[in-house]
Every structure is written in structure tokens, then in C-alpha cells.
Structure 1
Amino acid sequence: MTDSDDPRTKIIEAARSRFKHYGYTKTTMAELAEDCEMSPGNIYRYFPGKLDIAEEICRNASIQNAAALSHILTRPGRSAAERLYDFLFQDLRETFHTLEQDPKIVEMAHIVATERPQFLNEGVKREREVLQRIIEFGNASGEFRVADPVFFAEIIQSATMKFMYPQLFTSLSLEQLERELKGVYTMISTALMAGIELADPGVQALESLSEEA
């Protein structure tokens, strides 16, 4: 059986096409069943509901995006700072162009993230792991001096959140967003190279209590 013959794949592809054209909220399971030449009951054998199909579409897209960002780790002749730059701007541009080309898919992703916050956490974790590896690469080359790459990767995500989610773009153009991101990138890369300590506040609190005891 090829992927195109797999019922789950067939349902996902039909749903992606219909969601992209008509939108998630205006699509019914009965319409998806008709597109797949299945009965509605047969679709429910593979997915409990429409939201589960949408979540699977978004998860596949998230995995593909993380894989594309991972390629930055193997680009030859790039410093750690340049890899970080590539990561941040590639993610921004991909997100912005998706918003321009497929607004209904972005709307669907927002619904999934709201209804299934664990899905959003999975995607954030995938990208954070790539950031962590970039920082570790910089540490190994002597370019960065970061004591806790995992925590610093979280800080980078927090500092660049505006540029990763279309809902936060407001009415800014890509040029305006990139201008802002360059400023944020400069501050982040300076901190990475200077070895500025960013301790987890929770850890600091525990250490303070331990010292007082």
C-alpha cells in the first residue's frame, strides 16, 4: 500500500485541501467523507473528530518546519552566530509567507493551538532543541560562553515570540518585522558571546533558601 492509498493519508490530504480553500470552521466531516469517497462513519474509524484531523495536519507541518530548521546545523562555513541568524530569519519568513499564502491554514493552526495547548508545546520544544544545538555548537567552537544552553534556548524563544506567531504580527510588513528582529538578534548574540549569566529564577530562589538555611 502506497501513502496515497492509506486511508489516514487520504483523509488528511483531503482535509488540508478543503481547510485551505473553505476554512476549518466551514468544513464538515460529511464533506470530508464525500471528498474521500467514504462514509462519515468510516472516517470516524481513523479520527475521533475534525479537530483531530486538523491537529495531525498541523503536527506534520511542525515536524517538517523543525526538520528544515535542523538543516541549518549542517550548513558548511557558518559560525554559530550566523546559524542563529539563519534560524530566526528562516522561521520568521516561513511563518510570514504562510500567513500571506494560506491564511485559512493559519487560522486552523490557531484553533488547534487554542484547543490543544499540548500540541503547541510540542512544536515549541522541537524548535528549542535546534536552538539548543546551535548554542552548544557555539560553546564547542569557543564563540559562545553559555553555562546553560537549554535555559538560554528558552530565553531566545521568549524574546523572539512575536516573530514566530502570525497572531502577533499585527499589520507590520515583513521588512518591518525583519528590522525589529535584527535588533533583537543583536542583543541575543551579544549576550551569547559575552557569556552573560542568565540563571533560572526558580533555581536562584532555591539556592537562596539553601544558603539561608
Structure 2
Amino acid sequence: MGQLDAQCGEDRVAPLRSGADTPEARDTRARIVETAERLFRLYGYQKTTVSDIARELGMSPANVYRFFPSKGAINEEVATSLVHRLLGIARQVAAGPEPATARLVHMVRTVHIQSCALFLDDRKLHDMVAVSMDENWGVVHYYIEAFAAIVADILAAGAATGEFAPDATRFAKPAFGAFAAFFHPQLIEQCLRNREDNDLEQTLQLVVRGLGGDPARIPAG
């Protein structure tokens, strides 16, 4: 994944030192990320410095730079952690016992609700994730690929039972693209500002029909 360019005096790139993959190092990295997320939520990404993160952890900024080459790299890791949370929710719903159409619909609705709660209820976190997604295309690429894989699994199950067309899995990424406005932090904000309440439901009907499914199988929202 890419790293953010330097944004301030402290946001510089420093070489990682050896021995950075021990259990102790992984624990320290996790604590840095957890602390950074909390401070980003509290003060905002732009106002939080590596010195602030180090002070909160009781260590020096130089020690933080042993594990992350820049503040941008920490931000990228925080954004990746948030993406993992959303993907975990998506996988849990997708693995449910319902028919494929219902699982697809419930997953999209659930991730949309969770994305709104995560990205829109906390403005500072929204801005932090927006910066990371603008500058770290690795995060965006990973999210698209992982989510499309979850969609593909549901579509494969639906194709096997005759709910979807036999070649439905070919359209996993386009299906994800149709739902992107309801997941991406910046697009969600724009979408909610301009849309009518039934936009998501209309999109679900369009996608299910396009996959060879029956919109009548869509459970009530």
C-alpha cells in the first residue's frame, strides 16, 4: 500500500529498523494504531501529531518511527483496521442461512448502516478516512477486492440454486460498484445529501434483476 507524502515537519519518512516483526513489535504497532485512532477521533487527523501519539503512549516520537515511517502510514493502518471491521460484518451476514438474494440484500443494507454510523456520525473520523482513501489507493483496492469476493461467494451460491444466472459471479465487481455510493465515506455523504429515501432499495432491485434474480425475493427493508 502507498504511504502519504509528508504533510508537516513530523510527517516524514524514516527507515524501519530490524526486528520489527516480533510479537512485542506487533503489540506495540497495535497500541500505536489504537492510540492514533482515538486521538484522530478526538482532535482530528490534521491536528494530531506523531508527538501527540508518542506522548499518549509514554514513548518518544523516535520510537514510534521505528514502527511506522510516517504519520500517513499510521493513518493508512487505522483506515485498514476500519475496513477490516466492515468486511467482518459483511462476511458474518454473507455466511448466514438465508437464500442468496436475502443474504446479498441484508449484507448491503447492514454495511450501509454501519458505514453511515462509522463515517458520518464522527466527522473527524470521516475526514481521516477520506484522506487515507484519497492518498492510499492500496486501502481502496483492498476494500474493493475483498468486498467483491464476498459478493462473488453469494452470487455463486445463488447461481448454484438457480436464484441467479449461471454466470452471475462475473458481475461481482460491477455489483459492488453499484453499491459503492452507499459504502464509501465521501460518496455516502453526497448520496445522503441528495438522494431520496428509496435509492438504496431501487439499486438493490436493479442489481438483483440484472443478475438474473427475482426482485420479489428481496426481503422487506
Q: Shorter chain as normaliser: what TM range? A: 0.7 to 0.9
Runs of 4 or more consecutive aligned structure 1 residues displaced over 6 Å after TM superposition = none
Question: Take 2:198 and 2:66, find their aligned partners in 1: how far apart are those partners?
Answer: 48
Number of residues paired by the alignment? 191
Equivalent residue, structure 2, for 1:188: 207
CA contact (8 A) 2:148 2:172 kept: yes
**Residues 121 and 59 (structure 1), Cα distance of their counterparts in 2 relative to 1, 3 Å cut:** same
Instruction: Write the mapping of 1:30-49 to structure 2, written as runs, cut at 5 A.
Output: 30-49=51-70
Equivalent residue, structure 2, for 1:17: 38
Once the 2 structures are TM-superposed, how far is the Cα of residue 79 of structure 1 from its aligned partner?
1.2
* Structure with bigger gyration radius: 1
Secondary structure of 1:143's counterpart equals coil
TM-score normalised per structure 2: 0.79
Once the 2 structures are TM-superposed, how far is the Cα of residue 53 of structure 1 from its aligned partner?
0.7
Identity of aligned residues (%): 26
**Residues 44 and 160 (structure 1), Cα distance of their counterparts in 2 relative to 1, 3 Å cut:** same
CA RMSD of aligned residues (A): 2.4
**Residues 158 and 42 (structure 1), Cα distance of their counterparts in 2 relative to 1, 3 Å cut:** same
Once the 2 structures are TM-superposed, how far is the Cα of residue 190 of structure 1 from its aligned partner?
1.3
Equivalent residue, structure 1, for 2:123: 103
Can you list the C-alpha shifts for 1:180-206, whole angstroms capped at 9, x where unaligned?
0100111111122359xxxxxxxxxxx
CA contact (8 A) 2:159 2:168 kept: no
Can you list the C-alpha shifts for 1:52-110, whole angstroms capped at 9, x where unaligned?
1111111122122112111123212x111111101111111111111333221121111
Secondary structure of 1:172's counterpart equals helix
Equivalent residue, structure 2, for 1:118: 138
Q: What one-letter code is carried by the residue in structure 2 that aligns with 1:126?
A: A
Equivalent residue, structure 2, for 1:172: 192
Question: Which sections of structure 1, spanning at least 5 residues, go unmatched?
Answer: 196-213
TM-score normalised per structure 1: 0.82
Instruction: Write the mapping of 1:68-79 to structure 2, written as runs, cut at 5 A.
Output: 68-76=89-97, 78-79=98-99
Question: Take 1:122 and 1:69, find their aligned partners in 2: how far apart are those partners?
Answer: 14
Q: Answer yes or no: is 1:162 the counterpart of 2:181.
A: yes
Q: What one-letter code is carried by the residue in structure 2 that aligns with 1:185?
A: L
CA contact (8 A) 1:139 1:145 kept: yes
CA contact (8 A) 1:145 1:192 kept: yes
Equivalent residue, structure 1, for 2:155: 135
Question: Take 2:45 and 2:58, find their aligned partners in 1: how far apart are those partners?
Answer: 20
Question: Which sections of structure 2, spanning at least 5 residues, go unmatched?
Answer: 1-21, 215-221
CA contact (8 A) 2:163 2:213 kept: no
Question: Take 1:18 and 1:109, find their aligned partners in 2: how far apart are those partners?
Answer: 14
Question: Take 2:213 and 2:151, find their aligned partners in 1: how far apart are those partners?
Answer: 18
CA contact (8 A) 1:146 1:152 kept: no
Once the 2 structures are TM-superposed, how far is the Cα of residue 28 of structure 1 from its aligned partner?
0.7
Question: Take 1:18 and 1:194, find their aligned partners in 2: how far apart are those partners?
Answer: 46
